[in-house]
Structure 1
Amino acid sequence: MDNADPDVVRSYYESIDAEAYESVFALFDEDVRYERPGQDDIEGTDDLRDFYLDGRPLTEGAHEIRSLTTEGDTVAVRGTFSGLQDGSRVAFGFADFFVFTDAGTVGRRYTYTDRDEV
């Protein structure tokens, strides 16, 4: 199904960088699953909310999208982040995959970075 929306993904990064978390939460399905290699999966909007409000080590930064590709129900993004991680200045590359539900919300997200943990 071709229901992936690149504008939703762009909105995600804009909202994250602005720390507009309520806007971020509205993009995700209540049963969202967010996978990051080497870290526990985030499951459901309560876990997602806890992560962004209390557990996310990245702050005061900005994402730059280098490429964005849409196919079927998935938007793939390659980019860079620069900002603070646990109080130290960082810059790194990332690849994110957003898989959309039939309702047009993000149901799954996968993140890969060239850092151990974000």
Structure 2
Amino acid sequence: MTAAVSTPSQAMNERVRRYYDLVDADDVPGLIALFATDAVYHRPGYAPLVGHGDLNRFYTADRVIVSGRHTVTSLVTGEHEVAVMGEFAGVLKDGREVALRFADFFTLDERLLFARRDTYFFAPLV
């Protein structure tokens, strides 16, 4: 029996889907391991998060989400990028329940680590 061979696009898609599994499971060390040591994460309402230290602080202290579930509804892969549209439902630290749509854009390096991530939310701010 021949083992299935993963294409670069499939490997990138699997890496991105793994990220959402880990964040939903609150596995902070596991999800940070998916990022390059000098990765940059841009998220509305926060200064850019640079490197594993900033990412760890964000996921363990600063993030306003207590728990929730991400559902990927669309995933598009480029040469070194993966674009995601999805839905999130969860609970915030202040007890509010939220349900919203999001878009994420991941740039991966040659090791398939996230070098950059940009997040956008479909939520009214003004």
User: Partner residue of 2:103?
Assistant: 95
User: Partner residue of 1:115?
Assistant: 123
Give 5+ residue unaligned stretches, structure 2.
Answer: 1-7
- Per the alignment, do residues 115 and 85 of structure 1 end up closer, same or farther by CA in structure 2, a change over 3 Å counting? farther
C-alpha distance in 1, partners of 2:22/2:85? 17
- Quote the sequence identity (%): 38
Compute the displacement of 1:2 (Å): 6.8
| Larger RCO, structures 1/2 (Cα 8 Å, 6+ apart) | 1
- Paired residue total: 117
The answer to whether the 8 Å contact 1:3/1:102 transfers is: no
User: Partner residue of 1:11?
Assistant: 18
Moved >3 Å (runs of 4+): 1-4
Compute the displacement of 1:77 (Å): 0.4
Residue of 69, 80, 88 corresponding to 1:73: 80
Bigger Cα Rg? 2
C-alpha distance in 2, partners of 1:116/1:108? 25
**SS across alignment from 2:99:** strand
- Per the alignment, do residues 55 and 97 of structure 1 end up closer, same or farther by CA in structure 2, a change over 3 Å counting? same
Compute the displacement of 1:57 (Å): 0.6
- Aligned: 1:32 with 2:39: yes
C-alpha distance in 2, partners of 1:2/1:47? 28
- Aligned: 1:50 with 2:51: no
Task: Give the RMSD, CA atoms, in angstroms.
Answer: 2.0
The answer to whether the 8 Å contact 2:15/2:112 transfers is: no
Give 5+ residue unaligned stretches, structure 1.
Answer: none
User: Partner residue of 2:3?
Assistant: none
C-alpha distance in 2, partners of 1:80/1:57? 17
TM-score by length of 1: 0.91
C-alpha distance in 1, partners of 2:88/2:44? 18
